[in-house]
Amino acid sequence: MSTKAEPAMGPIRKLLLPFAVAVVALIVLLKLGFWQLDRLAWKETLIVQVEEGIAKTPVAAPAPAGWQRLDEADDYRHVAVSGTFLPGTAFYYTALSDPAGPFEGPGVMAYAPFKTAEGWIVLVNRGFLPQGLPDDLRAQALQVPEGQMRLTGLLRLSEVPNWTTPAPGLDDNIWFARDTRAMGAVLGLDPGALPPYSIDLDAAFTPPGGLPQAGETIVSFKNDHLGYALTWFGLAATLVGVFLTYAAGVVWPRARQTD
């Protein structure tokens, strides 16, 4: 025997599965949104720490035992290292729009291998060379200092090229990503003795001739977490709207038929 309650239960049964799926999806979207907000807070704290750390007294550059533990929090750390420069230079293409020194525009950063007193080798960014520099001035600028030196500068983690990164110009050794391992391989350096970072020299190491122009590190962090959070929350709101529209279409026609 049927009752009037049975037809009324039809729309509810039809909505049970979509409702369950919508709830699960909503929870996932909200969790992703709040996770991005947590990442935003972490990134903002990291940026403040980096900006404060740049001006701090330099600490010893990480030795091989600590290389595996390096992470984003170590980027831009003010470090010091002692040793001697080795022959060879790799170039990283860049363009300075707001330089600390007098030279700006397109050009390259000159990376030279530096053998530390402990025996491992690090690539040192000696500074900026503007595009179109006369050959004699360029050759003069690329002459590496001789003898034992103590250098200070900012630690920069190696970059991993992605599919948008142009291939390096191996004929002139110009790179479009700060890939220290690949640079070191072309320079004939032992990969086991090369850390996953380079060092950008402080401005004080700019030679008397003015080139390479040191101290031109661009301090920047990719911080898209707020945008990602808004995207996830927007999708969550859209999901709620779509489900309510669907539910109304299931319930109200049925209600009109029973009137």
**Whole-number pLDDT of residue 1:** 47
- What is the separation, in whole angstroms, between the first and last Cα of the chain? 22
Q: List the structure tokens of 48.
A: 């403040």
**Whole-number pLDDT of residue 8:** 55
**Whole-number pLDDT of residue 122:** 97
As beta bridge partners, residue 2 has: none
Q: How far apart are CA 140 and CA 59, in angstroms?
A: 31
**pLDDT tens for residues 185-212?**
999 999 889 999 999 999 999 999 899 9
| pTM for this entry | 0.72
**Whole-number pLDDT of residue 253:** 67
**Whole-number pLDDT of residue 114:** 97
As beta bridge partners, residue 152 has: 80
Matching residue, tokens 């220290």: 180
As beta bridge partners, residue 200 has: 125, 154
Instruction: Give the distance from CA 126 to its chain's centroid.
Output: 21
Kindly give the parts of the chain with pLDDT less than 50: 1
**Whole-number pLDDT of residue 221:** 66
**In angstroms, what CA-CA distances link 155 with 46, 125, 220?**
15, 10, 13
Q: How far apart are CA 36 and CA 30, in angstroms?
A: 10
Average pLDDT, the chain: 87
Q: How far apart are CA 70 and CA 79, in angstroms?
A: 14
Give long-range contacts, CB 8 A cutoff, 24+ apart: 202-207. 202/152, 202/153, 202/154, 203/100, 203/101, 204/152, 205/126, 205/127, 205/151, 205/152, 205/153, 206/101, 206/127, 207/141, 207/145
